[in-house]
Every structure is written in C-alpha cells, then in structure tokens.
C-alpha cells in the first residue's frame, strides 16, 4: 500500500492550492496544520487515511522547523519544557506506530486512524473555543510553584499517541495542556515551546509511517509548494485579522469535519 495518490510524477495544482490555503491559516493563527490538512487529503482527494497522516506528519515537521527557528532566535523556546514533552512523546509515537503496524491490517489501521482523527478534531475545536477561559481558570486555581515534571512528560506521551495516529494535536491540544501546566509563562513562550516540540514528534512519527509504506512523496512536494509561501504570507498578516473570528470559524469547521470522520 505504498502510494495511494493519483499524483504520478507531477506537482498537483489542487493539492498545492490546498497547501497554500492551510499554510495561510497556520500563519495567521498558529493553529490548524494537521487539523485541516489531513481531513482535506482524505475527504477531498480520497487519499488513504494512513497515507494522509504519514504525509502530513512529514509536511508538518518541515514547515514547523521554520517557525521554530524564528521563535528560537527570538529566545521564546523554553527548551526544558520541549525536552520534557519529547521524553514522553517520542517513545509513545514509536510504540503506537509499531502497535498499529503489528496488530492491524491496513483496513483496521485506517478505521482507528479515522476515528482518532475525528476525536482529535473535536478536542481541537474545544481547545480553540475555550482557550481563553481555560487559561483564566488555570491561573486562578494553580499554585505558583511549577508542577512536577512528570505531568509534562505524561502530556508528551498522550500527544505522541494522538499525533502519530492522526497527525493532529501537536498544536492546539499541546498548547492548551501547557497553559494548564505553566500558567505563569507568557503565551508566546508556550506557543514557541509547543512548536519546537512538534518538530521532532512529527518527524519521528512521519518517518515511522514512511518505514511502513504510508507516505506519498509527490503529495508531500505538492503540499510544500503551496504551504511554505502560505505560511510566510499568513504570518505577515497575523496581527491584522481579528483572531477571535478566525478561531470561531476554524473551530466550527473542525466540529463539522470531526463529526463527519467519526461517522465515516
């Protein structure tokens, strides 16, 4: 089950345009890479779930590396948090992919992937909608002392499982969890640390999918051709578009798609 695309050896214009659209949204909001790209690949282009997830994971690793570089230069990445998350997520991703490969045939795997993706999208929508409220709650109820590192490692492990199955969650879910764990950290640092953690996680999970044959290189190229300029353009307009409106639209879209995938 190697390549399930019909892209052949050409950059697919429709896929590149989808990449551009998703890239622009990611640039504007910092959210929505996997949560938009994977469902688009499955529902719009009819790409096999495992191939859609595997390809999107490597796509995320490449695009997020650029963002991490920018944040790291500005000193926003809390490397300790990033390393704690990775301590949990990387082994979890490897174990999840091995289990998926060992215990399910292609079809079983795709059903698990589709349902996990649907649930992850609904959780992402909830995280986007409630983020400000959750943040307020965590500031009110949390002690000033840092929470035990084990909580951050456990968060990483959960993200590792969800992300390697669905390619969703490294962004919105990770950020929401970090707001709870580190309520005193500035939002910019939380976003940057979460992004930095997403790079090794999506890379390891993406390479795992590639080893098991669920990756389409031409599809990856098509997406990158569109998404890299999209992210660049989107991030330049980041402050100028009202984020609350964008967030609500994104959340509504994720609920629709998530519901559709669970019913799939």
227 versus 234: which is more confidently predicted? 227
Candidates 82, 92, 5; CA nearest to 46 is 5
Q: Is residue 50 a contact partner of residue 162, using CB atoms and an 8 Å limit?
A: no
| Higher local confidence (pLDDT), 24 or 93 | 93
pLDDT band, residue 153 (cuts 50/70/90): very high
Note the pLDDT of residue 4. 46
Can you tell me the distance from the alpha carbon of 20 to that of 125, in angstroms, rounded to the nearest whole number? 22
| Helices and strands: H and E segment counts in the chain | 10, 0
- Residue 181 belongs to what H/E stretch? helix 172-181
**pLDDT average, residue stretch 124-152:** 77
Residue ranges covered by each domain of the chain: 35-263
Q: In this structure, what token pair is assigned to residue 195?
A: 């992004």
User: Structure tokens of 223?
Assistant: 């997406």
Whether residue 1 is predicted with pLDDT greater than 50 in this model: the reply is no
Q: pLDDT over 70 for what percent of the chain?
A: 90
Query: Could you tell me if 161 and 89 are in contact, meaning their C-beta atoms sit under 8 angstroms apart?
Result: no
- When pLDDT is cut at 50, 70 and 90, the band that residue 142 belongs to is low
**Residue 7 confidence (pLDDT):** 43
- In whole angstroms, what is the distance from residue 64 CA to residue 176 CA? 18
- Taking the CB of residue 126, how many other CB atoms lie within 10 A of it? 18
Phi, psi of 238 (to 5 degrees): -50, -45
Q: Mean per-residue pLDDT for 98-116?
A: 79
Band (pLDDT 50/70/90 cuts) for residue 220 is: very high
Considering only residues 143 and 201, tell me which one the structure prediction assigns the higher pLDDT: 201
Residue 105: band (very low, low, confident or very high) from pLDDT cuts 50, 70, 90: low
Q: Is the pLDDT score of 57 beyond 80?
A: yes
């Amino acid at each position: 089950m190697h390549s399930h695309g019909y892209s052949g050896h050409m950059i697919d214009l429709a896929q590149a345009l989808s990449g551009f659209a998703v890239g622009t949204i990611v640039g504007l909001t910092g959210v929505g890479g996997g949560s938009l790209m994977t469902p688009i690949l499955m529902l719009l282009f009819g790409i096999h779930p495992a191939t859609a997830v595997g390809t999107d994971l490597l796509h995320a690793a490449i695009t997020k590396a650029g963002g991490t570089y920018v944040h790291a230069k500005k000193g926003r990445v809390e490397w300790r948090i990033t390393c704690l998350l990775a301590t949990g997520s990387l082994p979890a991703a490897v174990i999840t992919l091995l289990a998926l490969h060992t215990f399910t045939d292609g079809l079983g795997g795709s059903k698990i992937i589709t349902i996990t993706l649907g649930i992850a999208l609904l959780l992402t929508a909830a995280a986007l909608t409630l983020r400000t409220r959750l943040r307020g709650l965590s500031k009110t109820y949390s002690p000033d002392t840092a929470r035990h590192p084990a909580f951050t490692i456990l968060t990483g492990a959960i993200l590792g499982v969800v992300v390697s199955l669905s390619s969703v969650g490294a962004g919105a879910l990770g950020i929401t969890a970090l707001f709870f764990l580190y309520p005193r950290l500035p939002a910019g640092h939380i976003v940057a640390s979460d992004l930095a953690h997403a790079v090794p996680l999506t890379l390891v999970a993406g390479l795992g999918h590639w080893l098991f044959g669920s990756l389409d290189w031409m599809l990856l190229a098509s997406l990158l051709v569109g998404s890299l300029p999209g992210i660049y353009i989107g991030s330049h307009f980041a402050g100028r578009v009202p984020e609350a409106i964008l967030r609500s639209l994104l959340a509504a879209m994720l609920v629709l798609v998530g519901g559709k995938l669970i019913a799939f």
